[in-house]
């Protein structure tokens, strides 16, 4: 799954978490304003030529000025997601220090006005064997994506169940790690704690390099989740956006509507028969219109040889599945891992940087990533702020503009769309 694994450069022992939490709590207090919240990565030296990458929550103005670090009380806060009314931010972070979990990532709700934090997901790690001497396996859960319901009382969460193999090579003091047996599942939590969680979908074992579950949003009016779902079962994953109701077992039962039509095709390559497959991920629903902006990645294999780099584009589709189109062709060798809307839909904000490729897995280099602005028609690309800034989330200006209000952007989606949930076999027409 692209840009989803925690950016850990060198595995660190659990005692470091106490230090990381203390480090993350330094900074200025913050009163929420109409700005962009984002994740900033920083390297911390913990020994000779040994460092780890940690993250902090920051905010800046839409022109990149006025940067401030935000105190949250969380260890490694990242990936801010605003509630529709702009009152709360959902964050992903590690568990408190000195716990028996290192790779585990949970979702919490943060109130920027008061500094209050409430943990939403209950994940922790287990180890086999319990004491890691030279090697062990950590079974953990990592929150990947989050989205608030329109009233802010529910939080949808995509988590990835993983097994992490830890190995301390003979004569080395540095642990090595590797992931396997990863699979995503989609749940809905009551932020007030008054109702039991709803398991919308739990998928079978898959690869963490796939984009299933990479991104999530909740429509303002129709009470639908927009979710990247893998549509194939083989080694060439095609991931499409689907609209699904936040009810028990909806994904597993096939009660969803496919919105995008990523392609899988073969071609005559230089080394034999080639295949290409597309994956759609990181959907963001416009706060006023019914347009969904998202990222599409195309990967190709030429006779067993991966074609690098991957082809990345930013696209737009209406909530009723019509009007799917590319709006911005990302330059070759670059990558976009996250995209969202400005409150008035006059701009898009996204993460963009150099593309890294390992076998068939492309992802964003967090040393080069910067935040950029883009017009909804694909023009006006402009980077703001410095490097190592990621996952921007533009703060809503207050209560959402009522449905039916005039939208001051071009290519607005039709006001009346099909919001019924059809069987998963149904899809939109071919592009």
Domains by residue range for the chain, with CATH = 16-394 (2.120.10.30)
- Looking at residue 225, its pLDDT comes to 98
Cis peptide before 39 (omega within 30 of 0): no
CB of 348 closer than 8 Å to CB of 338: no
- Looking at residue 404, its pLDDT comes to 45
- Looking at residue 411, its pLDDT comes to 35
- Looking at residue 174, its pLDDT comes to 75
- Looking at residue 25, its pLDDT comes to 41
- Looking at residue 54, its pLDDT comes to 87
- Looking at residue 14, its pLDDT comes to 41
The residues of the chain scoring below 50 in pLDDT are: 1-33, 98-99, 208, 402, 404-431
- Looking at residue 20, its pLDDT comes to 43
């Amino acid at each position: 799954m692209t840009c989803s694994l925690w950016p850990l450069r060198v595995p660190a022992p659990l005692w470091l978490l106490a230090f990381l939490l203390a480090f993350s709590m330094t900074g200025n207090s913050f009163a929420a304003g109409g700005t962009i919240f984002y994740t900033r990565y920083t390297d911390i030296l913990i020994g000779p030529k040994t460092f780890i990458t940690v993250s902090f929550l920051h905010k800046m103005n839409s022109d990149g000025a006025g940067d401030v670090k935000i105190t949250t009380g969380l260890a490694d806060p990242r990936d801010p997601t605003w509630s529709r009314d702009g009152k709360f931010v959902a964050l992903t972070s590690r568990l408190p220090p000195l716990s028996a979990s290192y790779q585990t990532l949970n979702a919490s709700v943060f109130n920027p006005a008061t500094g209050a934090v409430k943990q939403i997901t209950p994940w922790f790690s287990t180890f086999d064997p319990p004491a890691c001497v030279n090697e062990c396996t950590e079974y953990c859960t990592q929150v990947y994506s989050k989205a608030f319901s329109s009233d802010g009382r529910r939080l949808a969460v995509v988590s990835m169940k993983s097994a992490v193999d830890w190995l301390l090579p003979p004569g080395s003091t540095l642990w090595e790690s590797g992931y396997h047996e990863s699979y995503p599942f989609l749940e809905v939590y009551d932020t007030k704690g008054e109702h039991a969680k709803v398991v919308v979908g739990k998928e079978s074992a898959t690869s963490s390099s796939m984009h299933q579950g990479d991104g999530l949003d909740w429509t303002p009016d129709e009470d639908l989740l927009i979710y990247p779902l893998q549509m194939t079962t083989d080694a060439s994953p095609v991931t499409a956006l689907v609209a699904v109701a936040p009810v028990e077992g909806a994904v597993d039962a096939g009660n969803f509507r496919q919105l995008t039509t990523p392609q899988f095709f073969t071609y005559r390559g230089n080394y034999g028969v080639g295949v290409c497959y597309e994956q759609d991920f990181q959907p963001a629903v416009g706060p006023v219109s019914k347009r969904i902006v998202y990222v599409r990645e195309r990967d190709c294999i030429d006779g067993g040889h991966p074609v690098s780099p991957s082809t990345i584009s930013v696209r737009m589709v209406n909530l009723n599945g019509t009007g799917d189109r590319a709006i911005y062709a990302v330059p070759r060798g670059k990558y976009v891992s996250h995209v969202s809307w400005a409150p008035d839909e006059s701009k898009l904000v996204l993460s963009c940087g150099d593309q890294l490729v390992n076998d068939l897995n492309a992802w964003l280099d967090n040393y080069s990533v910067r935040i950029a602005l883009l017009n909804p028609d694909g023009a006006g690309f402009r980077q703001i702020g410095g490097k190592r800034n990621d996952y921007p989330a533009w703060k809503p200006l207050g209560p959402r503009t009522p449905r039916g209000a005039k939208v001051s952007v071009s290519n607005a989606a039709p006001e009346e769309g099909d919001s019924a949930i059809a069987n998963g076999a149904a899809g939109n027409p071919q592009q």
